[in-house]
Amino acid sequence: MPQPTPPPTSPTPLLLTVTGDTLVAADFSPRVRRRPPGPYRRLLALPGARAFTLGNLIARLPMGMFSVSAVVMIAGARGSYALAGAVTATGLAATAVAGPWTARLVDRHGQARVAVPATALAALGSVALVLCVRHGAPDWTLFAAYAATATTPNTGGMSRARWAHLLKGDPGALHTANSFEQAVDELCFMLGPVLAALLCGAWFPEAGTLVGAALLMTGVLLFAAQRSTEPPPRGRAGTAGPPLRAPGMPPLLAVCLATGAVFGAMEVVTIAFADAQGHRAAAGVVLALQAAGSCAAGLVYGAIRPAGPARERLPWCVAAMTALLTLPLLAAALSGSLPLLAGALLVAGMATAPTMVTTMTLVQQYTPGDRLNEGMTLAVTGLLGGIACGSALGGWTAEHASAAAGFGVPVTAAAVALLLALASAARR
């Protein structure tokens, strides 16, 4: 039986030329040009990068859940928002005190050896808080239990320390990594409150805290298991002084304090404005838009290569943040429209990520290499202190003046941050 003849194949186009006595064939077949991978793809292609990034993302998501979950749980059980706010404020203050000490231990003994037991203690504090609320324990036990969660390690700082270890000598790639980490921060603080409110409302009031503790412990275990990317511990042999005394750090921490006041005031004032409009439930969505703008801007900022050193870029970033923060103030004062305010916050958030990325880059440059986690935790502590001050001042202004006037507080705080950045740049 005759075999079927295969269809003819198209011959590869060739150009035959004669060079002297030699016949040369040139291949003109079409070739597929592959686009070079983008900066984030190259970043995550590093060995072990995706694994520790996934674990850190899971561990960081509860950071946006705990405060909302605690307020909903305590206020629902005890009928007092004042008590709920006082408990969360105590936890914030305890974190500001304990955070740098935990980070110092991480630098000295290694991330895995310190982060896992510290997280376990923090998770036990969350479980204790749930039990105290559930069984009607005295109010002071709520403060003690929530203060125990202050041992939660700075997972964002540990992730940035790993990038700094992996990308030594490549400032461009490190800039991309810092931008990526800032985008992850914004994503977690955008999704965390929504997830917490959903869990507490759909299941039971304690669900947000319990799920947050489980995610935190799981994420830290996955993150700590990636030993190949972990920076080596420095032990006690480091000769560098405390990061707080490093040249350039005190004024930079002052900028962090003022920037934190922007975040704290904006959150409280936005909630007050939405409440005054009769749409308090929409405040979370409006604030999520601000975080979404910052997240998108962070990814774009990381994909480009900004010119000039970071210390010269910081005043420009803070100036852009100050200018864009006038948009929510104008939207609230002139229109009183919540949708217009939401759009203004989306645009205003686009200057947040570049400011924070540049700030963290400077923290890495100013901090001694063997105290990197401690230095970045000090920056976070400055932000937390600023958030507490901004929340108090923004709430006072919204109550005694108006919610629209309250949007002047973050603008003022940003202007103070700009003056501090300019003064620091002039001194250096």
Confidence of residue 1 (pLDDT cuts 50, 70, 90): very low
Is the CB of residue 280 less than 8 Å from the CB of residue 383?
no
Backbone angles phi, psi at 16, to 5 degrees: -95, 125
* Dihedral sign for Cα atoms in the order 58, 61, 62, 63: positive
Dihedral sign, CA of 54, 55, 56, 60?
positive
What confidence tier does 293 reach under pLDDT thresholds 50, 70, 90? confident
Secondary structure of residue 418 in the 3-state scheme: helix
- Are the folds of 42-236 and 238-428 the same? yes
pLDDT digits (tens, 9 = 90+) for 305-353: 777 787 888 899 999 999 999 999 999 888 888 889 989 999 998 888 8
Tens digit of pLDDT for each residue in 345-390? 999 988 888 888 888 888 888 887 667 778 888 888 888 788 778 8
Type of residue numbered 418: L
pLDDT score at 296: 85
Report, as an integer, the average pLDDT of 149-174.
Answer: 83
Give 29 or 272, the one with higher predicted confidence: 272
Mean pLDDT of 283-292: 79
Give the pLDDT of residue 241: 65
What average pLDDT does this structure show over 265-285? 77
Query: What pTM was estimated for this model as a whole?
Result: 0.74
Beta bridge partners of 19: 22
pLDDT at position 217? 94
Taking alpha carbons only, the member of 260, 241, 254, 218 closest to residue 104 is 241
Token pair of 149, please? Answer: 């969660």
Could you report the per-residue pLDDT of 95-149, keeping only the tens digit for each? 878 888 888 888 888 888 888 999 999 999 999 999 998 888 888 898 898 888 8
pLDDT at 18 over 80: no
Q: Which residue has the tokens 């210390």?
A: 311
For the record, the structure tokens of 215 come out as 């995610």
3-state secondary structure of 58: helix
- Separation of alpha carbons 135 and 416, rounded Å: 46
Q: What is the structure's pLDDT at 320?
A: 93
Average pLDDT taken over every residue of the chain = 81
Q: Give the mean pLDDT of 400-417.
A: 89
Calculate ∠ Cα 119-126-375, nearest 5°.
Answer: 40
- Who's near 81: CB < 8 A, 6+ residues apart? 71, 75
> Higher confidence at residue 328 or residue 243?
328
Q: Are 420 and 259 in contact (CB under 8 A)?
A: no
| Nearest-10 Cα torsion for 401, 404, 406, 408 | -120
pLDDT in tens, 178-234: 888 878 877 787 777 778 777 877 788 888 889 999 999 999 999 988 888 888 887
Locate the domains of the chain by residue range.
Answer: 42-236, 238-428
Task: Pick the closest to residue 315 from 390, 182, 412, 424 (CA basis).
Answer: 424
- The single-letter DSSP state of residue 277 is T
In the CATH hierarchy, which fold is given to the domain comprising 238-428?
A: Growth Hormone; Chain: A; (1.20.1250)
Amino acid 13: pLDDT: 52
Query: What does the pLDDT look like over 68-87, one tens digit per residue?
Result: 788 778 877 877 767 777 78
Q: State the pLDDT at residue 329.
A: 92
Q: What's the CATH class of domain 42-236?
A: mainly alpha
Opening angle at CA 239, ends 238 and 243, nearest 5: 90
The tokens of 190 are what? 């955008």
Q: How far is CA 108 from CA 93, 149, 260, 349, in A?
A: 24, 21, 28, 36
User: How far, in Å, CA of 179 to CA of 303, rounded?
Assistant: 8
What's the Rg (C-alpha) of the chain? 26
- The rounded distance, in Å, linking the Cα atoms of 92 and 203 is 26
| Per-residue confidence (pLDDT) for residue 222, from 0 to 100 | 92
